Structures are given as C-alpha cells and as structure tokens.
C-alpha cells in the first residue's frame, strides 16, 4: 500500500535562545511542495539561502549537527529534524532569522507541538522509502561505537549508552512503532551533559544559551560551595546551584528513568533524517553521538542515492543484473558498433562497478583482427573498461547521456592474455579519485577469473554540445 508524502497545513512560529550560540532566533515552519524535502532557510542573509537537510551539507558535529551552504550555517539542527522526522513530515521549510534554532526545553517536544499546531496534510506523491535490504555497519572502535542497520519491513530503533561513568551507568531504550511511541515516549526527552563537561564546553564557546531549564546536568564530581559559586557566575546563571542527592544538578526530576538514553535515540532520529528518505530498517546503536550518527547516515545515503539511480535507469528488475543493455543505452552515448558493455552486475556508487562483455565471433572487428585467428584488440578491451567506468559518473552528473568522456592519460596498461570469441569479459573498475570533471579510475578485465588486462585512466567529462560546437 502506498503511503503519501506529508507537509504542514499552515505556517507556525516560535522564538527563543539557541543552546550553543546563545543567539535569539525567530523560527517559522512553512508548508512545502511534494518532493521538496526538508530545508533550512536563513531569511536574515542576503538572498535567503536554503540549506538542504542532508549529510552532504554537514560541516560540524561538535555537540550538535551543523549544516551549511557557503557562508550560511544552521547549528544544532537535530532536535528540529527529530520532530519533523518523528511525525513523518517529508516536505517543510524551516525559516530562521539567525544561526541556531531555539533550544526550548532541550527536547524535541516544542517542535512537535508546533507541527501539531500547524496541522499535517497529505500530498499527491507517495513517500520514497529507503528499504534496507542488506546489513550496513558503522564502527568506531576507539569510541566503542557500533551502529547497524538490518533489513525489516518497518522502522525500529534501539539505543544503548554506557559512558563508563557510575553517575549514569548503562542505559538502553527501544522504539518499535514511530507513530505510536515517538510523541508520548521520546519527544520530551531532554539534552544532557556531565557536570565535569560544563566548564569545558563553555570554554570552547558552546552552551552559551544553556541553563538548568533546557538541559539536564548529571552530577559526576564533587564541588565545594566556592566552586559552585564560581561555576554559577561563569555560566551567567542567576539561580542558585546545588549538587543535590538524586544524581542531577539541583535535583532536577527526570521525565524517564532512562531519559539520557531516550534523548540519544531522539538525536539519532534527527541525524538519520539527513539521509533524505524515510527508512524501513531496524537500527541498533551502541554509544551513538552526532559524529558517528552522521558517518553512519553517509553510508546509508550512499545506498539511497544508488537505489534512486538504479530505479531511474533500470526499469525492469532482473536477477543478478543492476543495469541491462537498455539501461546502459540510457546512460552511455555509445552505440553500435562501439558499445562494448552488455550489462552491469555490481555497482557501488562512487566506488566500484563490474560490467560484462560477451565476446562473440559476430563482432565486427574479428573480420580483420585477425583472419583465421580472431583476437579482441587490446585497445577495445581498454575501451570496454572505460565504458564500464562511465557508470561511476552517474552520481553528481545530470543527464549523463549528454556527456562525453575524453581520455587525458592511460597509464600502466598491461595485456596478460588474449581474449577470443566465446570469452566473457568481466570489467572490474574502481574510482581512484574524482575532482569536479576530472576522474581517475583503475580497471581490470577478467575471463573465467583470470586477469587478462589492466590499466589506470584519467579522463575529462565534457558536454557533448560543446564538442559539436567546436
């Protein structure tokens, strides 16, 4: 059953102080058309630049996720994104007149309340779900971080936190139904930090807007009365501070026994929104943070972009085939007698492609190369590898059929074994480097698992019309 995309019915606004920058910001949620996505808009800057909410625009992950386009930045986007994603809103404009959204009470709930006030509205386009059909694993062994995506037919999240700190201990939480559980069980979970971090964060120019009304401070050290007074003055907090006896500064009552773990899950939902599509997957996360969340989201977004490209060009699903000959002809400008790739059987966006060329006696070149002893010309094996490599240009190139790839250098080419009629060439090509319209690839050709040719190539991508004009 198709599920439609969602936006909001009307604009709705709030104002407040940003957690880290301390700036006062007026923020407005506005409806957006189908397939627009989530975008932040800095209306205080010339031209009101828009910043798409995706991992390609993440520029900083220090205690929050910062997005940017050029000089336009938005700090601490995760709580806003968690509210939008948690209510399954697909298309929305988030207008800001400053560099950071209001922090509210430190949770996603103020933004959830805004969205409910605006009202949700279905649109005419179906949701573009990313269905995870393979295991995706991110690991940072130094920080003890593990995040895994597993195939499932719905969306589930499990989070475990353990900071090796007796003040917090180990906590875990799990969300199994986004629609039923996010608002009631997770949206109100507030941001937190340890007491020993507070002064360090402030010294690094962070938490300028933080106070005991928008964050939980977990007591993990003893302070004298004089130290408490000094800390109060440094943070600019007018209210008195006590260490308390409940484990939180000023004995602040938790909304949930495992509120820190729940807030980490909220942060993860916000950062996963940067993939750019709603997920159908089970996510298991141990000790996640914004840096690890973003790195994991990058891996998943690569899969999303790859699936979109495959769907764009391959109109019929075929077992063991990524792109058939019809898809290849939609991608490459080559035609008979110079199209030398029959199908693509493996494809990792921006990384690697494996193409297949079935060599038959009907090839035109065998009439003269060589009569009575047909051998595929080495230069055509090189060309076949280059054509397979052309598939790697799909990401970031609009209308690849309008482009031509010109070799600027061919190096380290070696031919190991003749290729003859009846052979099936496997063309294994990997991306070495890509700078704008200059690419470097390395290709290897195999027959029955035996290397028959290899080489390194540099090429320039040009518009076909520019070549014709010259």
To the question of domain 314-469 being in CATH 1.10.357.10, the answer is no
Identify the weakest region by mean pLDDT among 197-201, 316-320, 360-364: 197-201
Of 34, 12, 181, residue with least CA distance to 122: 34
Quick one: pLDDT at residue 397? 63
Quick one: pLDDT at residue 218? 83
Higher pLDDT, 394 or 174: 174
Report d(CA 123, CA 90) in Å as an integer.
Answer: 10
Q: For residue 317, how many other CB atoms are within 10 A of its CB?
A: 9
Q: For residue 276, how many other CB atoms are within 10 A of its CB?
A: 21
Residue 123 has pLDDT above 90, yes or no: yes
Higher pLDDT, 252 or 132: 132
Quick one: pLDDT at residue 463? 80
Of 164, 147, 372, 186, residue with least CA distance to 265: 186
C-alpha torsion angle, residues 54, 55, 56, 60 (rounded to 10): 120
Q: Which of 57, 75, 79, 290 is catalytic?
A: 290
Specify whether the CB–CB gap between 115 and 187 falls below 8 A.
Answer: no
Specify whether the CB–CB gap between 422 and 413 falls below 8 A.
Answer: no
Quick one: pLDDT at residue 239? 64
Average pLDDT over residues 125-140: 96
Identify the weakest region by mean pLDDT among 4-13, 232-241, 251-260, 328-337: 232-241
Q: How far is CA 112 from CA 12, 175, 461, in A?
A: 11, 17, 46
pLDDT, tens digit (0-9, with 9 covering 90-100), for 403-412 = 777 888 999 9
pLDDT, tens digit (0-9, with 9 covering 90-100), for 209-266 = 888 778 888 877 777 777 777 777 766 666 667 666 667 777 788 899 999 999 999 9
Specify whether the CB–CB gap between 13 and 26 falls below 8 A.
Answer: yes
Report d(CA 422, CA 428) in Å as an integer.
Answer: 19
DSSP code, position 277: S
Report d(CA 145, CA 403) in Å as an integer.
Answer: 42
Identify the weakest region by mean pLDDT among 17-21, 103-107, 247-251: 247-251
Residue 281 has pLDDT above 60, yes or no: yes
Return the top range by mean pLDDT from 167-171, 315-319, 321-325: 321-325
Higher pLDDT, 353 or 62: 353
Q: Which of 172, 255, 334, 369 is catalytic?
A: 369
Report d(CA 277, CA 33) in Å as an integer.
Answer: 15
Higher pLDDT, 196 or 125: 125
Specify whether the CB–CB gap between 419 and 454 falls below 8 A.
Answer: no
pLDDT, tens digit (0-9, with 9 covering 90-100), for 31-87 = 999 999 999 999 999 999 999 999 999 999 988 999 999 999 999 999 999 999 999
pTM, rounded to two decimals: 0.86
The fraction of the chain above a pLDDT of 90, given in percent, is 73
β-sheet bridge partners, residue 128: none
Domain boundaries, the chain: 4-126, 136-311, 314-469
Report d(CA 279, CA 296) in Å as an integer.
Answer: 13
Quick one: pLDDT at residue 142? 92
Residue 465 has pLDDT above 70, yes or no: no
The span from the first CA to the last CA of the chain, in angstroms, equals: 52
Helix (H, G, I), strand (E, B) or coil at 463: strand
Where does the pLDDT of residue 282 fall: very low under 50, low under 70, confident under 90, or very high at 90 and above? very high
Annotated catalytic residue 24: no
Quick one: pLDDT at residue 470? 47
Quick one: pLDDT at residue 193? 83
Residue whose entry in the numeric block shows the structure tokens 């875990």: 172
Report d(CA 324, CA 321) in Å as an integer.
Answer: 6
Helix (H, G, I), strand (E, B) or coil at 341: coil
Q: What is the mean pLDDT of the chain?
A: 91
Two tokens, residue 77: 């986007």
The CATH fold of domain 4-126: Ribosomal Protein S5; domain 2 (3.30.230)
What's the CATH number of domain 136-311, 3.30.1700.10, 3.30.479.10, 1.10.10.10, 3.30.470.10?
A: 3.30.1700.10
Annotated catalytic residue 290: yes
Average pLDDT over residues 338-351: 95
Residue 301 has pLDDT above 70, yes or no: yes
Residue whose entry in the numeric block shows the structure tokens 């209306």: 43
């Amino acid at each position: 059953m198709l599920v439609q995309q969602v936006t909001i019915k009307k604009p709705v606004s709030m104002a407040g102080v940003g957690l880290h920058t301390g700036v006062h910001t007026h923020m407005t949620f506005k409806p957006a058309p189908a397939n627009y996505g989530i975008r932040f808009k800095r209306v205080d800057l010339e031209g009101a630049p828009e910043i798409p909410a995706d991992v390609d625009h993440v520029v900083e992950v220090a205690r929050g996720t910062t997005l940017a386009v050029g000089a336009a930045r938005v700090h601490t986007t995760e709580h806003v994104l968690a509210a939008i994603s948690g209510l399954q809103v697909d298309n929305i404009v988030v207008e800001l007149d400053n560099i950071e959204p209001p922090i509210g009470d430190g949770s996603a709930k103020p933004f959830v309340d805004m969205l409910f006030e605006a009202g949700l509205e279905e649109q005419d386009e179906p949701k573009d779900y990313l269905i995870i059909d393979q295991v995706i694993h991110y690991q940072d062994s130094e920080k003890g971080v593990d995040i895994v995506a597993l195939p499932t037919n719905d969306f589930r999240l499990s989070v475990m936190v353990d900071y090796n700190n007796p003040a917090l201990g180990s906590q875990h939480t799990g969300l199994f139904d986004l629609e039923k559980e996010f608002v009631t069980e997770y949206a109100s979970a507030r941001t937190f930090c340890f007491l020993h971090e507070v002064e360090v964060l402030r010294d690094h120019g962070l938490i300028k807007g933080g106070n005991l009304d928008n964050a939980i401070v977990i007591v993990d050290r003893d302070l004298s009365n004089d130290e408490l007074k000094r800390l109060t003055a440094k943070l600019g907090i007018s209210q008195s501070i006590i260490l308390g006896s409940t484990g939180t500064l000023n004995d602040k009552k938790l909304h949930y026994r495992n509120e820190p773990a729940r807030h980490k899950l909220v942060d993860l939902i916000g950062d996963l929104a940067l993939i750019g599509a709603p997920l159908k997957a089970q996510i298991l996360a141990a000790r996640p943070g914004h840096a690890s969340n973003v790195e994991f989201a990058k891996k998943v977004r690569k899969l999303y972009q790859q699936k979109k490209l495959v769907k764009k060009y391959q109109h019929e699903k075929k077992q063991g085939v990524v792109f058939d000959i019809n898809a290849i002809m939609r991608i490459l400008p080559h035609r008979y007698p110079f199209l030398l790739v029959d199908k693509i059987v493996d494809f990792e966006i921006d990384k690697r492609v494996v193409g297949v060329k079935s060599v038959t006696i009907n090839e035109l070149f065998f009439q003269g190369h060589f009569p009575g002893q047909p051998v595929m010309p080495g230069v055509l094996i090189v060309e076949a590898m280059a054509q397979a490599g052309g598939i790697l240009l799909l990401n970031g190139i609009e209308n690849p059929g309008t482009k031509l790839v010109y070799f600027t250098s061919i190096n380290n080419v070696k031919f190991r074994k003749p290729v003859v009629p009846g052979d099936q060439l496997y063309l294994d090509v990997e991306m070495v480097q890509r700078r704008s319209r200059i690419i470097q690839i390395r290709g290897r050709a195999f027959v029955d698992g035996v290397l028959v040719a290899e080489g390194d190539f540099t090429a320039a991508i040009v518009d076909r019309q520019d070549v014709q004009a010259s």
